[in-house]
Amino acid sequence: MTLKQLIYFLAVADTGRFVQAAAETRVAQPTLSRQVQALEDDLGETLFTRGRDHVTLTSAGETLLPLARRIVADVETARLEIAELADLRRGRLRLGATPSLCVSVVADVLAVFHDSYPGISLQISEGGSRDLVGDLEDGQLDLALVIHQADGFPTTGPAGVPLALTPVLREELVAVSATAGRAPLDEVLGDHAGIAEIARHPLVLNRPGYELREAVLSACAAAGVTPRVAVEGGEMDAVLRMVERGLGVAIVPSLVLTGRTGLHTTRLDGSGWTHRTIVLAHRTDVAPTRAAEAFRETLLAVLARTSRTGGLPTGVRFIHPTS
């Protein structure tokens, strides 16, 4: 088994066609076909079911696919690590973050990081925490800023890849409604409210896949109430805009409220689900790149400075890592 064979295998798996895979990898199609056949011979298994115009993965191919992606990604990481030896003048940082973090702390930290290391290429992936951890395990990300609502922090991800999770922020969830003049909801939602009281009003929910959406629905179920959903399916910024227009109430992280003057904030009564921890995750079976290490240092420095100067939003607290 060679690296080129794995690259050709991934190209065929992604395109579904040998001809297109050959074009994308810039190799003659017969050469690519021979290399894939040699890989199959080496493994003793057929990796593709070959049709007239399209190929599909066999069970053996599906088993090899995530492993091949991880191997190729690790090799690319090794190459970039060598290039980064020249004082981080070149390199790449692949960072994943949840939507609520992308519209709050991530942009500020990246601005400071880019000023310090302008030669580092920045690749940002936005998604739910579960999806980002999966991308991290597959070798598609170097670091991920994700939400962790449990008290303990696991040492492995869902696929069994060892992870290190560094808590960096503790944030409060709050209910938001339109301010007076936009809608009357702030007249019935005071400074504090329980989930049962909030659920009596129409709710604006994020799209499926948001951990926050699942947390809200689970809290409603635990309280024995059925929420009345006014609008669902939006990303974080869309949810806030719909609430500002008076379409309903939403439960959101405190971090996203900076500069949102058209919203009335109500603190949530309850425990457990009303707070969550933001962690910086990385794999421990692969040495972090120097760019990843530099970003971690920048993130902690920016958050510590913002905390000291009182710049963090109400309900957000910086957690000083022990290491």
Output the pLDDT for position 184: 45
What's the pLDDT score for residue 85?
65
- pLDDT computed for residue 65 by the predictor: 96
Which has more confidence, 250 or 262?
250
Asked if the model's pLDDT at residue 185 lies above 70, the reply is: no
Segment 19-43 mean pLDDT: 95
Which tens digit of pLDDT belongs to each residue from 134-183?
899 988 999 999 988 654 445 566 667 888 899 999 999 999 998 765 55
- Please state the pTM of the whole predicted model: 0.70
Averaged pLDDT for residues 288-300: 93
Pairing of strands 192-193, 263-268: parallel
Q: Show the tokens assigned to 132.
A: 């980002």
Per-residue pLDDT band for 40 (boundaries 50, 70, 90) equals very high
When mean pLDDT is compared across 176-185, 210-219, 247-256, 297-306, the lowest value belongs to: 176-185
pLDDT value for 186: 41
- Residue pair 245/182 in contact by the 8 Å Cβ criterion: yes
Return the axis-axis angle of helices 3-15 and 18-25, rounded to nearest 10°: 130
Q: Is the pLDDT of residue 4 over 50?
A: yes
Q: Say if residue 67 is exposed, middle or buried (CB neighbours under 10 Å; 0-12, 13-18, 19+).
A: exposed
Average pLDDT, the chain: 87
Asked if residue 199 lies in contact with residue 309, where contact means CB atoms within 8 angstroms, the answer is no
What are the tens digits of pLDDT across the range 117-137?
A: 998 999 999 988 888 988 999
C-alpha–C-alpha distance, residues 159 and 266, integer Å: 38
